[in-house]
Amino acid sequence: MTDGRPDPGDWWRTSIIDTEPGRIVIRGRPVEELIGTWTFAQVIWLMTTGEELTAARAKLLEAALVAAVDHGPHAPSIAAARMAITCGVGINNALASGVNMLGDVHGGAGEQALELFTEISEAMEGGRSAEVAVAEGLDRWQRERTAYVPGYGHRFHKSLDPRALPLLGLVDEAAEAGDVIGRHAKIARSVEKALADEKGRPVPLNIDGATAVIFGELGCPPALARGLFCLSRSVGIVAHAWEQSVQGGRNKGPVPPEYGLTYDGP
């Protein structure tokens, strides 16, 4: 305290980084040690959680980050970034526009999926059988939150999201090797089966749900899982914003101008 006021040096408190002229230390490791030896995925985990991932667990994180990287201009986040760039903003603004589209229904559902998986997992730890825990968890979710179960269903991939199987396969391998527990993967499959039974057709585990399985196996809190998904999708958003800027196009709207809209006002 100086003059009764707080020390300005205490204004920002962080255990992520210590830096002064000529010195950058990240989570206790000089950045020079990380450069050239740590993968980007390992550094993401170190930065966000403070923990060091083993190579096997880092492989899972890497796979999740790769899988969610893009879904093309039909994905609202990508379309928004491409439209933004045609409005004359910079690539950073286009990136922000795209990331801002990632919410509970698109790209951000992993957060809720992980909340659901965690609830079910805790019920199992409390002695419920997997079947009962899944049924109760789904029932509670659909009554108290929404009929849409997060992490399942897709506008295009109606019976199978091609990204889900390899991701769950990697979790199974890691579980067999003792690198993760594997419970989130089992829960995700049981929820998928229960949903299919409820609907009488598949409502497949989607990319938000499959990456949530990996984030959960690694011990990531749900709200942070959404941040990790955004990091991955940012790659696709930047790539599309860049491609659009090279292609050109000015003030591009969501549909070609030849298409009208349905006016139903007075």
Ligand X SMILES: CC(C)(COP(=O)(O)OP(=O)(O)OC[C@H]1O[C@@H](n2cnc3c(N)ncnc32)[C@H](O)[C@@H]1OP(=O)(O)O)[C@@H](O)C(=O)NCCC(=O)NCCS
Judged by the rule CB under 6 A, the positions of this chain that interact with ligand X are: 105-106, 109, 147-155, 195, 203, 206-208
What are φ and ψ of residue 20, in 5° steps?
-150, 170
Nearest-approach distance from CB 100 to ligand X, in angstroms: 16
Identity of the residue, 150 or 182, whose beta carbon is nearer to ligand X in the bound complex = 150
Identity of the residue, 43 or 138, whose beta carbon is nearer to ligand X in the bound complex = 138
Q: Which two tokens stand for residue 29?
A: 């490791």
Q: Which two tokens stand for residue 145?
A: 């939150």
Identity of the residue, 115 or 208, whose beta carbon is nearer to ligand X in the bound complex = 208
Nearest-approach distance from CB 14 to ligand X, in angstroms: 32
**What helix, strand, coil percent values describe the chain, rounded to 5?**
55, 5, 40
Identity of the residue, 97 or 112, whose beta carbon is nearer to ligand X in the bound complex = 112
Residue 155 DSSP one-character state: S
Nearest-approach distance from CB 105 to ligand X, in angstroms: 5
Whole-angstrom Cα distance, residue 257 to residue 12? Answer: 49
Considering only CA atoms, which of 245, 135, 125 is closest in space to residue 190? Answer: 135
Identity of the residue, 46 or 212, whose beta carbon is nearer to ligand X in the bound complex = 212
Nearest-approach distance from CB 104 to ligand X, in angstroms: 7
Identity of the residue, 152 or 215, whose beta carbon is nearer to ligand X in the bound complex = 152
Whole-angstrom Cα distance, residue 186 to residue 199? Answer: 20
Considering only CA atoms, which of 93, 95, 134 is closest in space to residue 116? Answer: 134
Nearest-approach distance from CB 128 to ligand X, in angstroms: 22
Nearest-approach distance from CB 147 to ligand X, in angstroms: 6
| Residue showing tokens 């007075």 | 266
Amino acid making up residue 96:
A
Whole-angstrom Cα distance, residue 17 to residue 35? Answer: 15
CB nearest ligand X: which residue? 153
> For residue 31, with 0-12 CB atoms within 10 Å meaning exposed, 13-18 middle and 19 or more buried, which class applies?
middle
